[in-house]
Structure 1
């Protein structure tokens, strides 16, 4: 088939393969950029969640120090439940 193309256009097979190689390089580059963006977004989300959880635990400690165990229990408990729930959700979603 390539020989038939060569008969019509002398450098057709080379041009076809060159275009295919360029398209393959473009696709690989696009996939790499998309993967790096996804990883960056995931890292940012994890850091934000960690900062939130640590802040909530600091508020919990402050509430205990102020003598407000119910508030500390609610803030600390909901934070722990949320973090564990997020990890379990990610595990189940990955399966």
Structure 2
């Protein structure tokens, strides 16, 4: 299942911009963790690592950390999003993203 998700993500990156070529692709997928890093010739990058926690228990879950970045075609500005995804959901951060008010 994890391998299929990673493969789908890699395909999405590869086909998002047909003129871009993959210049770096590293991955290591194990039964309880994975890591991958993809870079394309247009400056797009995606890195992610996930680790299974509470293995074998009723509360088994995966903790994911990662980042992705791209270069805007019109302005040349590079945007980067870093994130954590866990039992609290997907939590992205980036200089270009709005920050919710403190309550």
- The question of a shared fold, defined as TM-score above 0.5 by the shorter chain, is answered with no
Question: Smaller-chain TM-score range?
Answer: under 0.3
Q: Which has the higher strand share?
A: 2
Q: Which has the higher helix share?
A: 1
Decide which structure has the larger Cα Rg and report it: 1
